[in-house]
Amino acid sequence: MTKMVEYPSGAIVPERDIGYRPVLEALHLGIDFGGLTAVDDFNLIVGKTEIAGLIGPNGAGKTTVFNLLTKVYQPTRGTILLDGQDTSKMTTVDANRAGIARTFQNIRLFNNLSVEDNVKVAMSKDFSYTTLGGILRLPRYYRQEEEAHQKALELLRIFDMQDLAETAAGNLPYGAQRRLEIVRALATKPKLLLLDEPAAGMNPVETEELMNNIRKIRDDFKIAVMLIEHDMKLVMGICEGIAVLNYGRIIAKGTPEQIRCNPTVIEAYLGSNREV
């Protein structure tokens, strides 16, 4: 079990990440849609190689937080520091280039492209040839395309998907589509990987495999992972720090043990005694 250390500010990160700059610092983050406050005063620190969990009942605002962090939504209040860099004013594209990548709750693949092309689309950091260079097929085109091909296969190997490289992404089975989304996100070389319900629709065996793979990704790529998940076995099994969200606010933060026995969390999930 990872030892978690508390900062003076109250944030907790794994002991091994002490001394490194946290990959994510969200400070007083909030967003209003008209009169509705969807997320408010969201404070979270994620360590450099932490696996963090974000849980909460349906409609708590978990995906909204992901959309804020990846700048799909512009926050009404607050600051986001990604590895020390302020991304609060960036576009989605720039935030991705700054080092944040994500998967989607409702799968969003490039369905008509092959599995390999899905991965290559995300590898823009590995290419430097121009449009004209691509049309004229300059030597650089062949060199970089070959490198990208090898690299894409290597990334697909994480989930043992290299044999599916030429299949159209839209024809993959559901579980494989979820895994491909993770590979595609990894291909952008992120510092922080956001997974929105990665185990949704997976059976217990697949979930077990996914847990091992998430750990492996963290160890191999030395990145932080933050995930939204309803499968408590997965969350309690791999997350080192967990934040619980309810009605757009964080109601508890801590290690899996602390969260499990936290009365506020139990109340948020199961309702209080008085209501029963």
Q: Which residues bind other proteins (CB under 8 A)?
A: 70, 72, 91-93, 96-97, 101-102, 104, 108-113, 117-118, 120-122, 124-125, 127, 129, 131, 134-137, 141, 145, 148, 163, 167-168, 170-171, 184-185, 187-188
Nearest distance, CB of residue 122 and other proteins, angstroms: 4
Q: Minimum distance from CB of 115 to other proteins (Å)?
A: 11
Q: Is the Cβ of residue 79 or residue 167 nearer to other proteins in the bound state?
A: 167
SS3 of residue 239 by DSSP = coil
Nearer to other proteins, 12 or 164 (CB): 164
CB of 243 to other proteins, least distance (A): 22
Strand bridging mode 12-14 / 4-6? antiparallel
Whether 92 contacts 104, CB under 8 Å: no
For the CB of residue 202, give the shortest distance to other proteins in the complex, in Å. Answer: 19
Provide the β-strand partners of residue 85.
Answer: 82
Closest CB to other proteins among 106 and 273? 106
Q: Report angle CA 9, 15, 18 to the nearest 5 degrees.
A: 60
The 3-state DSSP class for residue 129 equals coil
- In the bound state with other proteins, the residue whose beta carbon lies nearer, of 70 and 246, is 70
Structure letter (DSSP) for residue 168 = B
**Beta carbon nearer to other proteins, 14 or 75:** 75
d(CA 135, CA 150): 22
The Cα 210–Cα 227 span in angstroms is 12
Helix crossing, 174-186 with 139-157: angle to 10°?
Answer: 130
Residues 6+ apart with CB under 8 A from 214: 51, 195, 198, 225, 227, 238
Residue 1 CB, nearest approach to other proteins (Å) = 33
Minimum Å distance from CB 228 to other proteins?
Answer: 15
User: Least Å distance between CB 20 and other proteins?
Assistant: 24
Based on CB atoms, which residue is closest to other proteins, 183 or 244? 183
- CA 83, CA 62: separation in Å to the nearest integer? 21
C-beta of 47 vs 190, nearer to other proteins: 190
Distance CA 33, CA 38 (A): 7
| Pairing outcome for strands 192-196 and 4-6 | unpaired
